[in-house]
Structure 1
């Protein structure tokens, strides 16, 4: 994977740390370990031997010991093993999806927090300009360069800038809280948002539909339900129990050795198990339909996210290439023109406000480009590859 299609090293470290401390990932890991244990349990023999000891004192003294074992002649163990292995694949896919989900949520919250910080810095720049503008307006009123209403307009502009800055500070605090709610208080220093925009969508080749984690999970769930049908069918077949008994019988002075063999087979008369087979077959049909539905959803999401990301990225590129983002230059020029008396106070404030709003919109546009990039990586099945820096050819 090219360097431009890898996450920055600081961001990769942050995500790896997130995966270690996230309760959501820890829960998914515990579920995976439980699935491994269940898969191991399903591969064990179904029946244990039974030991029976019998003693009787009467006219005839009897001492016998018996050993019995139910025989799995219908393949129940093989069917249970197949179902356990399929359930393990479901849990493995769930673990992959949990890591991807928490990483995507954190990355989007992280980009929002970075945006809020940049907006707050830009708002602070506006507040500084308005404070200086208010001071200069007061001085110019004293010498008669501007009128009293223009002086009042400068004071009103300062008050508005202070309220807007308070709103930006509140927005940054909210964004930081959302980020902390996902990752906890484990990140004292957050990575900065890269100066460059993410690469074009064409730089990332989406995974094949069949290898998407959602499809892997759906296919594994279908395999589990199909195995469940086989388990239910095998359960209908009664397994015989073979018993071997040996001992001795004493009657008066005579002692005889006895050996007995018994074969017992349950009769599936009252409960044939047909209902369980029908239920398992219905669950398998639902799982098969779920695979088709998941495939359609994955393909639709990929097309949508690719189109959205391309649109936002192109718009952000155009914004950067134009003059719309040159806030500092325009602010300095407007202040120079106002001081020279070439524009009025109201014109200065209107144009400065428009310049600031445009700059803030540009930051919002770049944030949307980054968030749609994360959505596209998720839809393409490449988010964890991007975080891990794996080659697309080497990625599983």
Structure 2
């Protein structure tokens, strides 16, 4: 009964094209050990302009300057002059120098170097966070765009189907129930398209927030991520190379260095003073030594506070390390599950979708399927295709989580840390 409708409709043709090309045009080639060069350049170029990365780089530069400052001598010499008008007319000139007897300069220099190393780890953490965030938003945008395309195709198909149903109803070849069903299907398709278009606008805005100077036409396409490969690296090696773990370790080292600084501060530094002058036509030369007495304040509380901060850093680092191990194992399991589901889709789901679309077309052409059955199965076909898009987005999110948890995002993107600071 509906053979003439189908011959003039693009429903089956559109869905057949979506089922065979939408997920395989760019995704048939998987990512290799490295991301594609266009994606690498895109991330690298935007990282050089990102405010968070630039702020972390400025903090690193400041820590380097403070490290150089801490390496300078702790005390400057002091020049003094004294004149006395009396019967003896005394005039003297002196120079004094406080000696770094306790090695405070070295302790401060080491603490400043640990500050610089901490800033360096924080800079890498900012770079990784930006890269992961941008890739996640790109994956969400690509999925939103493809879902919008699917919704647009379904909207065109349902609108044409409803129009043809109106004509068939006017000719007496279609009953009121099937006509109402066709109208509802078209209305639902309009709603779905509006929803998907809104989702696409939100996803586009999310990418633009990080890629301010890059137009959407320049955004690279993401391919299907690869399967996990076995390496000789242990979980301990992977976790201890993570920026957040290094930050936690640097904080312990910095806290240790500050404890040393506070303990050095408990030791007084002597001051030597050399004076020379004249008094009553006689030459005077004098040498004096002064040492502060830490009697009223022995600076014990500062040491206790530094030790407490050190313990806090240690406990925090232990917590970070535990979370990193758990995250690594969870990311591996999640990605393997998602990858297995995607492999099943590529092997059987996508070919079955194509076959289903062809069978629906043939049955409708032969008049062996009612309008209600056709629309129900058509919607199921669209839903399966949409679920496949969602699965691939989850696959990308799982891949990025694995890269982040295993510390391999640097290698995969070939990020040049120095290039992002130029």
- Contact 1:248–1:256 (CA under 8 A) maintained in structure 2: yes
Q: Which residue of structure 2 lines up, in the alignment, with residue 16 of structure 1?
A: 44
- The residue correspondences of 1:116-265 to structure 2 (distance < 5 A) are 116-188=144-216, 189-194=218-223, 197-202=224-229, 207-250=237-280, 255-265=281-291
Ranges in structure 1 where 5+ consecutive residues have no aligned partner: 391-396
Q: TM-score, normalised by structure 1?
A: 0.92
Asked which structure has the greater RCO (Cα within 8 Å, sep 6+), the reply is 2
> After the TM superposition, which of the residue ranges 56-65 and 318-327 deviates more from structure 2?
318-327
Q: CA RMSD in A?
A: 1.9
Q: Measure the CA separation in 2 of the matches of 1:82 and 1:121.
A: 59
Aligned pairs for 1:73-84 within 5 A: 73-84=101-112
Residues 243 and 187 from structure 1, CA distance in 2 versus in 1: closer, same or farther, beyond 3 angstroms?
farther
Distance 1:23 1:320 in 2: 40
> Which of 359-368 and 49-58 deviates more?
49-58
Q: Alpha-carbon deviation of 1:357?
A: 0.7
Aligned to 1:110: 138
Q: How many residues align?
A: 383
SS in 1 for 2:229: helix
Of residues 45, 59, 65, the one that matches 2:87 is: 59
Do the aligned residues in 1 keep the contact of 2:239 with 2:405 (CA within 8 Å)? no
Note the alpha carbon deviations across 1:146-190, whole angstroms, 9 max, x for none: 212212221221111011101000000011111122332434421
**Cα deviation per residue 1:358-385 (whole Å; 9 max; x = unaligned)?**
1100000001001110010000011111
Q: How far apart are the structure 2 equivalents of 1:3 and 1:341?
A: 45
* C-alpha distance in 1 between matches for 2:222 and 2:35: 11
User: How far 1:338 moved relative to its partner?
Assistant: 2.8
Of residues 178-187 and 86-95 in structure 1, the stretch that sits farther from structure 2 once superposed is 178-187
Is the 8 Å Cα contact of residues 111 and 254 (structure 2) preserved in structure 1? yes
Deviations 1:81-107 (A, max 9, x none): 111111111111101111000110110
Structure 2 vs 1, CA of residues 32 and 270 (structure 1 numbering), >3 Å: closer, same or farther?
A: same
> What CA distance in whole angstroms lies between the structure 1 residues aligned with 2:111 and 2:407?
26
Matched with 2:114 is 86
1:284-295 equivalence runs, <5 A:
284-295=310-321
TM-score (norm 2): 0.86
State the distance in 2 between where 1:8 and 1:203 align: 21
Structure 2: any 5+ residue segments left out of the alignment? 1-29, 417-422
